Amino acid sequence: MKRRLITWIAILMCIASFASFIYKLVLIERAKTSHKQTTKKASPLTKTSSNNTVKKTQPVKTVSKKEAPKPKSETLKSPHPFVITNNRNTYIVLKRKRKVLHIVDGKQSALSRRTQRIIYSRVARSGLNNCACQKSKGRRFLCVFSNGKTREVTLRLLCELLVVAQNGEETTYPKELLDFPYKWQKALMNLKKDFNAYAHLYHPDFHSRFGNLKAWLNYHRQNLDAIKYIDVVVDDPAIVKIPSSKLFAIFFHEIYRTNIKRIDTTKALIVTPTPQGLKIISESYL
C-alpha cells in the first residue's frame, strides 16, 4: 500500500513539473510575439504622373528647438498611499499611528484590532522602516529602502506586498512609470542589436551587487558574443512609491532565457525621476 502511494505521489509531482514547464514556454512565446514590430513608413514629398513629371512639391518644414519643446511627462495621483498598481494583497504599516491599512483589489479592507496588533508587532520586531517589500517564496521578502538599497527579510505575514512608513503620503507619479517595466524588457531582449538603448535606461549613480554602472554594463557585455537569443518575461509588475524618498520600486517575476543561462526570480527595479526621464538607480533579485 505504501509503495503504491509513493508511486502515485511521484507521478503527480512529475505532472505538476511538466505543466509548470509548459506554462513558462507559453509566457516566453507571448513575449516574443508581443514585441515584433512591422511598421512601414511611406511619406513621399512629391507626386508624379504616369510620365514621371512632377506635379506638386511639398516644402519641407524645419522646426527649431524653441518651437518644439520636449513635452513634460503627465503626473498621476494614486488613490492610496504609496501603492500605484493594485494587483497585490497589500499591508501598509504606519508606525507613528500604529495603524495597518489593508488594500485588496484597489479597495481598503477593514482589519480587526487584534489582527492589526499582530501585524504591527511582527513588523516592529523586524526593524523595518521606510521600505517596500515583495514576497518571494514562503516567508522571504525582497525589501527596497529609501536609500535605494535592498535586503532580504523573513516575515510571517499573509500579504504579498508590504509598505512600512512613519506616516501616510500623498502619492503622485509620472504616467510613463506604468510602461517602464516593458520598456526595460524590450531593451534587454534587444541587447545584442542595440546595447546603448539598454544602457540609456540606467542612472550614472547606479549601484548593484556587481558594483557601479560601469561594472554592471561590463558584466552584460562579457558573454554577449556567445549569446544567440534573449527571451524575457515580465510577469504582473507591481509599482510602489518608496516612503520618504523620490524612488519607485517595480517588483515582478522575471523569466530570463538565453542559450547559456536560465533564471526564474523575483526582480526589483529601483527607479528615480530625472530631467531625461526615468532612470534605474539600483536593481536586485531574490
Interval 78-112: pLDDT, tens: 999 999 998 899 999 999 999 999 999 889 999 99
- What does the pLDDT read at residue 7? 76
Q: What is the pLDDT of residue 24?
A: 64
Task: Report the share of the chain in percent with pLDDT over 70.
Answer: 79
User: What does pLDDT average to over the chain?
Assistant: 84
pLDDT of residue 209 exceeding 90, the answer is: no
Q: Which residue has the cell 526595460?
A: 184
- Backbone phi and psi for residue 196, each to the nearest 5 degrees, phi listed first: -65, -35
Rounded mean pLDDT, 109-129: 95
Instruction: Tell whether the model's pLDDT for residue 58 goes beyond 60.
Output: no
Q: What is the mean pLDDT of residues 62-75?
A: 56
Q: What is the pTM of this model?
A: 0.76
Domain boundaries, the chain: 75-165, 172-285
Largest CA distance in the chain: 91
CB 64 within 8 A of CB 161: no
161 phi/psi in degrees, rounded to 5: -130, 135
Q: How far is CA 160 from the centre of its chain?
A: 15
Q: What is the dihedral of CA 164, 167, 170, 171, to 10 degrees?
A: -20
Q: Say if residues 271 and 180 touch (Cβ distance below 8 Å).
A: yes
Residue type, 103: I
pLDDT at 37 over 60: no
Q: Which three cell numbers stand for residue 137?
A: 517564496
Check pLDDT > 60 for residue 35: no
Higher pLDDT, 11 or 244: 244
pLDDT tens figures, 195-205:
999 999 999 99
Whole-angstrom Cα distance, residue 258 to residue 208? 22
3-state helix, strand and coil shares in percent for the chain, rounded to the nearest 5: 25, 35, 40
CATH 3.10.450.50 assigned to 172-285:
yes
Q: List the single range of 44-58, 162-176, 249-263 with lowest mean pLDDT.
A: 44-58
